[in-house]
């Protein structure tokens, strides 16, 4: 196995010059031993230390914005606009978790009974393993929500950075190291690892010193990690966000179809469609189908070229399109841009075609989607039964909350969008980013917003008897 990791610039079509060393089992052992000691000695138990740590990390990020952009853009091929949005979101998350930590600390309660008192206190779980996400080098990776949420809860963190943006992950880790050193915190509060294969990550989540895990990525990757955490002698919570088809339902009473179709195409193709909340399938009333298809085609043709995150990501996307074309004999509207060779477009299917083509019912990570015609509410409900748990479900039309499909959406998705698009997950207190399996491993918890800090705490009740 190579001893170094190389990253790729899809805009230039070449490898980046810098190489990054692969972590060893000894590196992992050092991180685990140090994290365990930091937790046992209460390195982040003091709420003031936690808030100060988060604040200093934020300051380090702000001071190194341009350095982050340089490596971020060359490794992910995402542009300045996307970087600025993700950068601001990363800072907002840190503020959110700092506030959440303070609020959680103040939420301690005491019940006074006739002969005793009972008080309940949130405690950090212990060392948390976090896996960086391929499509968010900042906000869901080494500086992302899982890491900052765990810090806010008082937990040491060990990050396995994503190999496709290894340089961004290492620079991010160095900023956390600087913040830790400036505040003279124990080195075990944070560790960082890189691995080309799966050995380090698997060993990390199987180690008894790790007490929780955060993951954002594919279903296969998420389930592998989830099973490892549950098959331990001492199973631990694994919070895996594993993607979604994010169905869109257009109601027969919709009167502004053009507006919504254009918005959906933007949602499908922004940053080459590499979002977990990208709309994957649009259910359209049969009488509107011809008009909707024309609008979709016109809108797709106006999309500017955008590279994917890495040649391997593009290859998997193209393979999925090939797989669908082999088994689906319906209509397809696709074009390939000359600059980056990315195929964009959509498949058109009847409900019958959709139901007999499993490949159309799976997540398609890239700038493509499916539009399915339905003739009646009953037919659409039959089609929706084939869909498993989703991160989002969207309903477009007049008074969508009164639709027969609203209850279905609430029962099967973590977030329901009415007359909008699912991309653009806001970091606010009322956000819920998760969903019934297989969208996530535990839909009771959100991966976004201050409530996500609750993933990394456990409660201890202390009962004290009153002696007279």
Q: How far apart are CA 338 and CA 342, in angstroms?
A: 8
Point out the catalytic residue in the list 10, 213, 238, 276: 276
Q: How far apart are CA 145 and CA 83, in angstroms?
A: 16
Supply the angle between the helices 145-153 and 80-106 in degrees, to the nearest 10.
Answer: 20
* Residue 372 bridge partners (DSSP): 283, 349
Point out the catalytic residue in the list 36, 75, 241, 254: 241
Give the helix/strand (H/E) hosting 260: helix 257-269
Q: How far apart are CA 91 and CA 79, in angstroms?
A: 18
Q: Token pair of 435, please?
A: 């969903």
- 3-state DSSP assignment of residue 336: strand
310, 297, 398, 399: which is closest to 348 by C-alpha?
A: 297
Q: How far apart are CA 330 and CA 293, in angstroms?
A: 13
Number of residues that make up the chain: 468
408, 405, 451: which is closest to 429 by C-alpha?
A: 451
Q: How far apart are CA 28 and CA 380, in angstroms?
A: 50
Q: How far apart are CA 262 and CA 294, in angstroms?
A: 11
Query: Is 255 within 8 Å of 285 (Cβ atoms)?
Result: no
Give me the residue label for tokens 């391997």. 312
DSSP string, 110-149: EEE-SSEEEEEEEEE---EEEE--SS-TTTTTTTSHHHHH
Give me the residue label for tokens 């491993």. 441
- Active-site residue 155, yes or no? no
- Active-site residue 323, yes or no? no
* Residue 460 bridge partners (DSSP): 121
Q: Cβ neighbours of residue 407 under 8 Å, at least 6 residues apart? A: none
Q: Nearest 5 degrees, angle CA 12-CA 16-CA 21?
A: 160
* Residue 8 bridge partners (DSSP): 15
Report the number of secondary-structure helices (H) and strands (E) in the chain.
14, 17
Give the helix/strand (H/E) hosting 395: strand 390-396
Q: Cβ neighbours of residue 409 under 8 Å, at least 6 residues apart? A: 249, 393, 395, 416
Residues designated as active site:
241, 276
């Amino acid at each position: 196995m190579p001893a170094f990791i190389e990253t790729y610039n899809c805009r230039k079509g070449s490898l980046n010059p810098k190489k990054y060393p692969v972590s060893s089992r000894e590196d992992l052992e050092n991180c685990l031993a140090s994290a365990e000691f930091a937790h046992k000695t209460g390195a982040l138990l003091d709420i003031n230390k936690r808030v100060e740590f988060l604040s200093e990390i934020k300051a380090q990020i702000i001071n190194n914005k341009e350095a982050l952009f340089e490596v971020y853009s060359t490794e992910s091929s995402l542009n300045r606009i996307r970087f600025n949005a993700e950068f601001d979101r990363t800072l907002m998350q840190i503020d959110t978790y700092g506030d959440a930590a303070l609020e959680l600390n103040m939420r301690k309660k005491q019940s006074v009974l006739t002969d005793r008192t009972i008080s309940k206190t949130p405690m950090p779980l212990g060392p948390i393993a976090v896996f960086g996400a391929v499509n968010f080098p900042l906000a869901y990776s080494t500086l992302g929500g899982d890491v900052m949420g765990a810090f806010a809860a008082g937990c040491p963190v060990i990050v396995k950075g994503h190999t496709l943006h290894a340089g961004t992950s290492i620079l991010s880790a160095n900023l956390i190291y600087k913040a830790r050193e400036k505040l003279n915190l124990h080195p075990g509060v944070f560790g960082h690892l890189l691995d080309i294969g799966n050995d380090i990550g698997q060993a990390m989540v199987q180690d008894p010193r790790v007490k929780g895990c955060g993951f954002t990525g594919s279903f296969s990757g998420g389930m592998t990690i989830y099973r490892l955490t549950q098959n331990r002698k001492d199973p631990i919570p694994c919070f895996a966000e594993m993607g979604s088809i994010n169905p869109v339902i257009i109601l027969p009473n919709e009167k502004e179809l053009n507006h919504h179709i254009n918005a959906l195409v933007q949602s499908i193709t922004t940053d080459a469609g590499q979002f977990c909340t990208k709309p994957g399938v649009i259910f359209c009333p049969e009488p509107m189908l011809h008009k909707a298809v024309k609008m979709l085609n016109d809108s797709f043709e106006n999309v500017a070229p955008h590279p994917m995150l890495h040649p391997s990501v593009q290859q998997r996307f193209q393979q999925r399109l090939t797989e669908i074309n082999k088994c689906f004999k319906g209509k397809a509207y696709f074009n390939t841009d000359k600059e980056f060779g990315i195929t964009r477009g959509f498949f058109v299917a009847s409900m019958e075609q959709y139901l007999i083509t499993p490949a159309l019912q799976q997540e398609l990570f890239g700038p493509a989607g499916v539009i399915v015609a339905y003739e009646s509410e009953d037919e659409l409900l039959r089609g929706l039964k084939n869909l498993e748990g989703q991160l989002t479900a969207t309903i477009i039309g007049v008074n969508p909350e009164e639709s027969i499909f609203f209850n279905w959406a609430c029962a099967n998705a973590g977030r329901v969008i009415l007359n909008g698009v699912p991309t653009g997950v806001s970091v606010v207190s009322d956000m819920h980013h998760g969903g019934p399996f297989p969208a996530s491993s535990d839909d009771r918890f959100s991966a976004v917003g201050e409530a996500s800090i609750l993933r990394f705490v456990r409660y201890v009740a202390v009962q004290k008897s009153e002696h007279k």
